[in-house]
Amino acid sequence: MLKKILTAAALATLLWSPAGAQQIDGAGATFPYPLYAKWAEAFNGQTGIKVNYQSIGSGGGIKQIKSKTVDFGATDMPLPVDELKESGLVQFPMVMGGVVPVVNVRGIEPDQLRLTGTVLADIFLAKIAKWNDKAIADLNPGLALPSQAIAVVHRSDGSGTTFIFAEYLSKVSPEWKEKVGASTSVKWPTGLGGKGNEGVAATTQRTNGAIGYVEYAYAKQNKMAHALMGNREGEFVAPNSESFQSAAAFAEWEKAPGFNLLLTDQPGKKSWPITGATFILMHVKAEKADSSKRALQFFEWSYKNGGAMADNLDYVPMPPKVVQMVQQVWRTVTGPDGKPVYTGAAGM
Amino acid sequence: MTSIPATTAIEARIGRWARGQKRYDTAFRLGTTFFALLVLVLLGGVIVALVEGAAPALAKFKLGFLVTEEWNPVTDEFGALAPIYGTLVTSAIAMLIGVPISFGIALFITELCPPWLKRPIGTAIELLAGIPSIIYGIWGLFVFAPLLQDTVQPLLIDSLGNLPGIGFLFGGPPLGIGIFTAGLIFAIMVLPFITLVMRDVFETVPALLKESAYGLGATTWEVMWNIVLPYTRGGVMGGIMLGLGRALGETMAVTFVIGNAHDIHASLLAPGTTISAALANEFTEATTDIYLSSLIALGLILFIITFSVLVLAKLMLLRLQRSQGT
């Protein structure tokens, strides 16, 4: 008898626990994955809610949220307002970061080489093929540049990083815009492809005379020779959280419906020109109100408590002004009963 | 007197037992038939899924898909020529280098090797076959490619690159990674497979045949070329095809070392891509439907290439057997 009761109790616990463990499912961009994973862990520790984020890529994230298999999608390439309306989605920026050009030329240290947007575009267009080309030498008097072929390294997989980089080149070089354009993957005029940020970093480090582009965190952690970029004001700035934040501060989010805003080539003397944000996508009409509520709870918590963790991983938190705007958007997310699923941090 | 009912009882028991066995037999036959047919169903299912997925791309680009080099995700223009070229050329390099070396190793092990060395070499090759391809890729990128860039490739460019006729194959700057490096890595990867098959079939040659030839004064090479190889032709061909199959479908290692560029260059040292590398790289972020469909179409083409290679090998074998008259 006792045995039976014990078995029943054990069975009940087994059946109960999955229902009791609350979970949020998300999928998408790989760029913010390290940060989302860190946030998720800390959030789980405080609330017991598990965030299951799959970094399958922005394209995959958009597909998954449209087919409603996840509670939220994540993308580095913001969707245009029309597409958001059509699919019944809301979009908001979660965190920002910078893309930095990295080089591997003997004798060049981090923050030594100076480049401008047009020169960078010409290198990636294969119009500048040698390191001692006059265009590069003119920007870098006093730097010994070798007569070596430039090996361009780019992403071989589709990526939000590529989108931010190509979008910047499109802004500063009409020829790039016409011949290549901007997307998560493009038709590269030249170069070697590496898979993922780590692939580009590894290929650049192993190839003499290489130039590539990676997320700032990868350049910093691998101690790669990142270049100084000339920004819109003609100032040469180094990539760091200060210069990323400067670019973000000049962004006019209020003028961008659906937060469809790109942060490249922003004004400001200290602004890093190749800055970008990564976005969350959710359905306006939530089928599972509880899940959507928990997801918004997670994002609110992350805005509030995740700043230090973002800093540690070299991401840039959203400014408070933008967070307030995002919170307004959250109120438009309604459950099947037509009421907003989440009305602020009161429930926490 | 008593033996008669006993016999019938035994007979009845045997009969029951036999009927039971027959049922088991039928069940067993049906079971195994089902498993065998399952393979055909799976194969058919894969073909149907590939054709269905590839249909939008093939409908849009028609046969031009096969002969266009353009691969532009921004404008949604796709052509498969560069990956097809890369797949065929890297596999060809792998075979050109891998087959003679494998033949040499197998010959050494079966004919010339001192007995105490046989086991260590055999085990080493088996271990080589067991290394996951991603390890080859990482090793290729971090160790092999820089070595090629600094030493082998400049040498090739300065020597072979100046030869008339084939010089264009070795032009351009030494990048370390590219079609040539991928081919070399492939050669190392297929080597153990081909070697092991060759060794095993060489060992099936009756000692009598070989000893007769040696008795007539034949050299080791003559025995190998005139006795062993004709005797084991089918097995050797099978080993080569096994290696070729692996090279054609290889994914992770090639992604690391080929450069992943959708271009066709005359130079073998330039970056390129293969079908499987393109699939591995681009599936995650194939945002438009036609992009995804084009990638599936690439998969279908790889399927057809592998299938044709298999068919060609079988045909070649048939013709060889016929000309031999056996």
- 3-state SS class at A245: helix
Quote helix, strand, coil % in chain A, to nearest 5. Answer: 45, 20, 35
The better pLDDT of the pair A344, B11 is held by B11
> Torsion angle of alpha carbons B42, B47, B52, B54, nearest 10°?
140
In degrees and rounded to multiples of 5, residue A304 shows phi and psi of -80, -45
Judging contacts by C-beta atoms under 8 Å, the chain B residues touching residue A73 are none
- Interchain pair A184, B146: CB under 8 A: no
- In order along chain B (326 residues), what is the average pLDDT of each group of 10 residues? 67 86 90 94 94 92 88 87 93 94 93 90 91 90 87 84 80 84 92 92 90 91 90 88 88 88 87 91 80 92 91 83 64
Q: Which of B141, B175, B285 lies closest to A59 in CB terms?
A: B285
Confidence of residue A166 (pLDDT cuts 50, 70, 90): very high
Tokens of B20: 């039971």
The pLDDT of residue A19: 40
Q: Does B269 touch chain A (CB under 8 A)?
A: no
User: Crossing angle of helices B81-107/B275-282, nearest 10°?
Assistant: 120
Any A CB within 8 A of B15 CB: no
Q: How far is B116 from chain A (nearest CA, A)?
A: 41
- CA angle, corner A76, sides to A184 and A159, nearest 5? 35
Instruction: Find out whether A181 and A77 touch, Cβ atoms under 8 Å.
Output: no
- Residues contacting A47, CB < 8 A, separation 6+: A297, A301, A348
Dump pLDDT digits (tens) for B263-274.
Answer: 888 888 889 999
Site from B276, B285, B293 to mutate, A interface, most A CB atoms within 10 angstroms? B285
CB B86 within 8 A of CB B272: yes
Distance of alpha carbon B138 from alpha carbon B179, whole angstroms:
16
Centre a 10 Å sphere on the Cβ of residue B133 and count the other Cβ atoms it contains: 18
**Nearest residue in A to B177, CA atom:** A192
| Mean pLDDT across chain A | 86
Q: For residue B71, list chain A residues with Cβ-Cβ distance below 8 A.
A: 187
For a pLDDT cut of 70, what percent of chain A falls above it?
Answer: 93
Q: Is A229 helix (H, G, I), strand (E, B) or coil?
A: strand
Do B102 and B191 meet the contact criterion of CB atoms below 8 Å apart?
A: yes
Q: Is the pLDDT of residue A212 over 90?
A: yes
Environment class of residue A143 by beta-carbon count within 10 Å: exposed (0-12), middle (13-18) or buried (19+)? middle
Half-sphere exposure of B180 (CA within 13 A, CB side): 22
Q: Return the pLDDT at A2.
A: 54
How large is the angle between the packed helices B289-324 and B275-282, nearest 10 degrees?
Answer: 150
* pLDDT tens track for A296-335: 999 999 999 998 898 888 888 888 888 888 988 888 888 8
| Minimal-distance CA residue of chain B relative to A183 | B74
Global pTM value = 0.78
Tell me the shortest Cα–Cα distance from B296 to chain A, in angstroms: 16
Question: Structure tokens of A159?
Answer: 């990526």
Q: Do B256 and A199 touch (CB under 8 A)?
A: yes
The confidence score (pLDDT) of residue B4 equals: 61
Say which residue the tokens 């060759």 belong to.
Answer: B198
Say if CB A277 and CB A179 are below 8 A apart.
no
- Name the residue of chain B whose CA is nearest to A185's CA: B73
Determine the residue of chain A that is closest to B72 in CA distance: A187
Name every residue whose Cβ is closer than 8 Å to that of residue B180 and which is 6 or more positions away in sequence.
B93, B148, B153, B268, B269
Report which DSSP code applies to A318.
Answer: P
Q: Which of B288, B207, B195 is nearest to B242 (CA)?
A: B195
* Interchain contact, A149 vs B73, CB within 8 Å: no
* Interface contact B261-A57, CB threshold 8 A: no
| Gap from A158 CA to chain B (nearest CA, Å) | 5
Residue B286 forms contact with A (CB below 8 Å): yes
Chain B residue whose CA is closest to A163: B74
Residues of A whose CB is below 8 A from B149: 207-208
A276 CB-side CA count, 13 A: 25
A223-278 confidence digits (pLDDT tens)? 899 999 999 999 999 998 888 888 888 888 888 888 888 889 988 899 999 998 89
Residue pair A260/A83 in contact (Cβ under 8 Å)? The answer is no
CB of B100 within 8 Å of any CB in chain A?
no
Whether A209 contacts A222, CB under 8 Å: no
Check B177 against A203: CB less than 8 A apart.
Answer: yes
**Residue A54 phi, psi (nearest 5):** -105, 120
> A59 and B260: CB-CB below 8 Å?
no
**Which chain B residues contact residue A185 at CB under 8 A?**
73, 282, 285
